[in-house]
């Protein structure tokens, strides 16, 4: 099985939040090579942004942030270049009024013909009905 992994799910690998156990199950299955995880090459940048935001909000310490960042870098999904995805992401962003970053994940899911797992409820709600390959992390068993 193959999934596109949204950075919102990767953040739950590191920070204890709602549905963190489900996110970590995906990570552990990926580590065990029982499923494939793919993402656009913006994944580590978005993850780093979320971790530094958690630091600024004093949810984690700078030392914890560095450790979490290092851990995720050691377990990155298979990254795909964003530039070839950008024309489709731009088209989706314009027509759906969503961020281009989010649409890069959708474009990759379309190209790879697999599901996109996201913890971003706003994104999954916006795409519901139009893109059945977008699955909210909370809905996974």
Write down the pLDDT at residue 7. Answer: 97
Helix H or strand E encompassing 78: strand 78-80
**Three-state DSSP class for residue 26:** helix
Residue labelled with tokens 């958690």: 54
Element (H, E) at 132: none
2-139: CATH superfamily: 5'-nuclease (3.40.50.1010)
Question: What average pLDDT does range 60-84 have in this prediction?
Answer: 96
Candidates 78, 8, 80; CA nearest to 46 is 8
Q: Is a pLDDT exceeding 90 seen at residue 90?
A: yes
Determine the average pLDDT of the residues in 6-28: 96
Whether 138 has a pLDDT exceeding 90, the answer reads yes
22 and 132 Cβ atoms separated by less than 8 Å: no
Residue where the block lists tokens 């390959």: 133
Residues contacting residue 87 through CB under 8 Å, at least 6 positions apart: none
Q: How confident is the model at residue 136 (pLDDT cuts 50, 70, 90)?
A: very high
Cβ neighbours for 36, distance < 8 A, ≥ 6 positions apart: 1, 2, 3, 30, 78
C-alpha–C-alpha distance, residues 43 and 121, integer Å: 18
State the average pLDDT over residues 96-115: 97
- pLDDT-derived band at 37 (thresholds 50, 70, 90) equals very high
pLDDT of 6 strictly over 90: yes
């Amino acid at each position: 099985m193959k999934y596109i992994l949204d950075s919102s799910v990767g953040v739950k690998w590191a920070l204890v939040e709602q549905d963190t156990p489900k996110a970590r199950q995906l990570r552990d299955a990926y580590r065990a090579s029982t499923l494939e995880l793919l993402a656009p090459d913006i994944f580590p940048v978005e993850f780093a942004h979320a971790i530094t935001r958690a630091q600024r909000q004093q949810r984690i310490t700078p030392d914890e942030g560095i450790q979490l960042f290092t851990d995720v870098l050691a377990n990155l999904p298979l990254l795909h270049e964003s530039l070839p995805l950008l024309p489709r992401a731009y088209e989706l962003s314009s027509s759906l009024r969503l961020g281009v970053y989010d649409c890069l994940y959708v474009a990759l899911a379309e190209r790879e013909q697999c599901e996109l797992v996201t913890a971003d409820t706003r994104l999954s709600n916006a795409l519901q009905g139009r893109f059945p390959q977008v699955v909210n992390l909370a809905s996974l068993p």
